[in-house]
Structure formats: C-alpha cells, structure tokens
Amino acid sequence: MRHTPVLSKEVIEFLHPQTGENFVDATFGAGGHTIQILEKTGPAGRVLAIERDPKAYIASEPHKMRFGKRLILVQDDFRNLKEIARRHSITAAEGILFDLGMSSDQLDDPKRGLSFQSSGTLDMRFDQTAGYTAQQVLDEYPVSELARIFREYGEERYARRIARAVVSARSIRRIENTQSLFDCIRRSLPQSARKTAADSARRIFQALRIEVNQELDALQSALPQAHTLLAPGGKLAVISFHSLEDRIVKRFFQEKLKGCTCPPEFPVCICGKHPQVRVLTRKPVTASEEELAANPRARSAKLRVAQKLG
C-alpha cells in the first residue's frame, strides 16, 4: 500500500513543482512527499532528501532504484542543511519542505517508546545510533530540569509535581518502560485530574522526545538555512504538529516579512530593510474532513508556506 503523507494535496498545490525544478525535502520519512515532487518534476528535476532515522533511510532503497540520480538521499540531521546542500552541489531550490511529524512506523514501534499505548523501551531517539535516550533523561535529570522540560516542551500544568514523582519513583525502582512512566505520571496527578491522565502523559512524552532529539533547536537552526538556500520566488513549506513548532515557524515568517524598522518620525528610510518573504498562508492550513477520516493522526497538522522575494 502506497504511503500517503499528511496534507499531500495542499503541499503540492503550494509548492507547484514543475519539470526540471530542484527541491529539498528536509524530512524524507517514508518518502511520500518526495515521490510526488519527483513525479511532477521529471524527467530532470531533482530532490535532495534528508532523513535522520537510519531505519527509514534503509527502507528507502526501492525509491533510490526507481528515481536514480534524481533522488539525492542523505542520512543526516536537517540542522546541517547548508552543509548537506553544499556537499551535493545544490545552490538554489525552487521549494523546501519540512514535515515535522513522526511516521506511523516510528509511533507504533515499541522499541522506540514514543507512545504509551503499548509498553516499550524508553528510547525516543529518531536516530537510535546516536545521542542520549529518554531513559537517561529520566534516570539522571534533577527535579528542576525535568520540571523545566515538562513545562516548556510539554506545556504541562503539573510539570513540577510529575518531575518530583519521577525522581521519587526512581529512587526506589528504575522507571524502565513506557507503561511504568505512564503509571508514575497518573499517580502523581491530583485525584480530579487522573481521569485525563492520558492528556498529561501525551504532553510528557512529547517533552521527553523534544529534549532527546533537540527538535526545537534543530528547527530554529534550519529555517534560516532553508531561506538562504531558496531561489528567488522559491517556497518554504513547513508542516508542524504542536504549538511550539508552529510558533517558531510563525515567528520566523513574521521576522522575514518585516520591512523598514526605522522610527516612525524619520522622514525617509535609512535602514534599507525590505520584506524578504510573502506569506502565502494567512492562517495555517489544516487537514480536510476527508483526510481526517482516512488518517486521524493528521488532526494536529498545520501547514504554513512563505515565498522568497527577489
């Protein structure tokens, strides 16, 4: 069964790939967006695709065989976008896409521990060959640091309460799987909040995943690189899945949208600043009812698109 990426129709409409054009897919995943772009840009257009997950990279072999040199697939972190593009002689792209969501394969793999729906190991790394795990965070971080990431990355009301419960629990017995972590979260909540423990757990799991993979830092680093890499008239499209990501994208677009910053009392502009983008999505684009019926995980997806001015 062919993989259908989130907001596929809308992404293609905004990017509008044409024969011979070059694109960057900074989050290859299962390759759904990349394949559609390659089909639209044949026979000469290319896509530089970046994938952090070694398993997804290995699984992409059939796509590499199908598209040959038109698909430049690299296993790396998109925070290194500028250097990756330089290595592969990509100097300008007509469009760059970031799909910041996780694949179903990643979510459903108990060895990754990204979901509390089934018991699994507390890893949470996108690249399971590098970096530290959620297990290490839970084992080693003090209460203050756990509370900070639960509050900042999970926007969890009971962040400190849950952090104290984690440290208390691990002093008796190691929290060593997703089910144990969920149980710890649930027990730490006030009695009145336990009926919605799953909501708190989702926020805590999100916070741990962001911390382990340094997702927000990577996005903040990659967006300016993407803008620089775009050709004049090129489009930058970002699909986010929670408010923290969406806020970063929105603020980046707003910053690039700014023109003159001189004080209003100046008779003429002396700063020389001009808007660098045109924002194409007045509000973020969300999934249609038809798409939601086929893929409920698309519910939180938000697409923002900006076009680079000459």
Provide the pLDDT for residue 272.
80
Mean pLDDT of 95-106: 91
CB 127 within 8 A of CB 147: no
CATH (one of 3.40.50.300, 1.10.238.10, 3.90.1140.10, 1.10.150.170) for 110-213: 1.10.150.170
Provide the pLDDT for residue 267.
84
Output DSSP code: residue 285: B
Provide the pLDDT for residue 3.
57
Model pLDDT for residues 20-71, shown as the tens digit of each residue: 999 999 999 999 999 999 999 999 999 999 999 999 999 899 999 999 999 9
For the chain, the structural domain boundaries read: 8-99+216-308, 110-213
Provide the pLDDT for residue 102.
86
Interatomic CA distance for residues 88 and 76, integer angstroms = 13
> What is the torsional sign of CA 287, 289, 290, 291?
positive
Model pLDDT for residues 212-258, shown as the tens digit of each residue: 999 999 999 999 999 999 999 999 999 999 999 999 999 999 999 99
Answer whether residue 1 shows pLDDT above 50.
no
Answer whether residue 2 shows pLDDT above 80.
no
Model pLDDT for residues 6-29, shown as the tens digit of each residue: 999 999 999 999 999 999 999 999
- Written out in words, the top-level CATH class of the domain with range 8-99+216-308 is alpha beta
Provide the pLDDT for residue 40.
97
Task: Please name the residues in contact with 192: beta carbons below 8 A apart, sequence gap of 6 or more.
Answer: none
Interatomic CA distance for residues 109 and 125, integer angstroms = 12
Model pLDDT for residues 177-195, shown as the tens digit of each residue: 999 999 999 999 999 999 9
Sheet of strand 22-25, all strands in order from the earlier edge strand to the far edge = 71-75, 46-51, 22-25, 93-99, 230-240, 302-308, 277-279
Q: Which of 179, 197, 66, 65 is nearest to 116 (CA)?
A: 179
Model pLDDT for residues 136-180, shown as the tens digit of each residue: 999 999 999 999 999 999 999 999 999 999 999 999 999 999 999
Provide the pLDDT for residue 301.
97
Tell me the pLDDT band of 264, cut-offs 50, 70 and 90: confident
Average pLDDT of the chain to the nearest whole number: 95
